[in-house]
Amino acid sequence: MEAPEAYQVEKWLWTDADFDLMGWHDASVYAWRLLGQELLLDIDYIFQWNQPEVDGTSFTFWVAPATLVFLGVQNVEFDFDFIEGLSKENALEIDGIERKLENEWMIQLRNGHMGFQATGFEQYIRRAPSFEFGQQVSFPNRAGNSFEKVTGEARSDAFNFAEFRTSNTWRLYQVMLAQARVRQQLDQLLDERAAGNIALKRFLQQKRELQDRINHFGTELRGTRFDRS
């Protein structure tokens, strides 16, 4: 599979008119606030799940920090386990957002829900989506928590995918993919031997060569986020 290309943002401000085009599954919520008749949530919005480049490896994601603002909010009720001082490690996760009736909304969380009436919503994409190995925006790309109702299309410090692909993190990611491809070759070799399609001497030689390559990659990946040992 080809490596993912840089994600192009379709729009920086989304509203309830876009509801049917949007999805918040697995979006992280770092903070929420009721301010007058506005309910504001600081979230990481997942724009795209990237299929694993090699079978057996993990999905990657295009994720952006966003401010989700529900307007004309009334009759708020919530029932969830509150986590004081939310951080990336313990952020709440959204299962989905439902519009039950025209003005009735439900935010389903992994550990509860928030229900309320609202006339609509706006979602501000504060920074360009960044390429992430998990479903949250990494700290340097998030720049802390915020309820700002601003969009990030003109930011001078926008995530640069071309630059990221020159980083050591990307290099290690490629090493992990290379290791996964060799693991596939080893699995195929084991299947050939089990089917009796390869002589024992040749099998042992190729197995040793493949295992040496896997171990070599593993040495380089040891202690990194890509360590699969």
The domain segmentation of the chain, as residue ranges, is 13-159, 168-221
pLDDT digits (tens, 9 = 90+) for 7-60: 999 999 999 999 999 999 999 999 999 999 999 999 999 999 999 999 989 999
pLDDT tens-place string over residues 64-107: 999 999 999 999 998 877 655 555 555 789 999 999 888 999 99
Q: What is the pLDDT of residues 188-224, one digit of tens each?
A: 999 999 999 999 999 999 999 999 999 999 999 999 9
Structure-token match 């915020």, residue found: 146
Whole-angstrom distance, CA of residue 86 vs CA of residue 30:
5
Q: DSSP strand E in the chain: where?
A: 13-15, 28-35, 38-50, 60-71, 74-80, 92-101, 104-109, 112-117, 120-125, 130-132
- What interhelical angle do 200-221 and 168-194 show, nearest 10? 160
Q: What is the pTM of this model?
A: 0.89
Task: State the pairing for strand pair 60-71/120-125.
Answer: antiparallel
The pLDDT value given to residue 139? 82
Residue 59: other Cβ atoms inside 10 A: 13
Alpha carbons 60 and 51: distance in angstroms, whole number? 7
Report residue 156 CA to chain centroid gap: 23
**pLDDT score at 177:** 97
Confidence of residue 3 (pLDDT cuts 50, 70, 90): low
Q: Across the chain, what does the average pLDDT equal? A: 92
Comparing CA positions, the residue from 67, 181, 89, 84 lying closest to residue 136 is 89
Q: How confident is the model at residue 140 (pLDDT cuts 50, 70, 90)?
A: confident
Q: How far apart are CA 27 and CA 43, in angstroms?
A: 7
Q: pLDDT tens digit string along 144-167?
A: 889 999 999 988 888 999 999 999
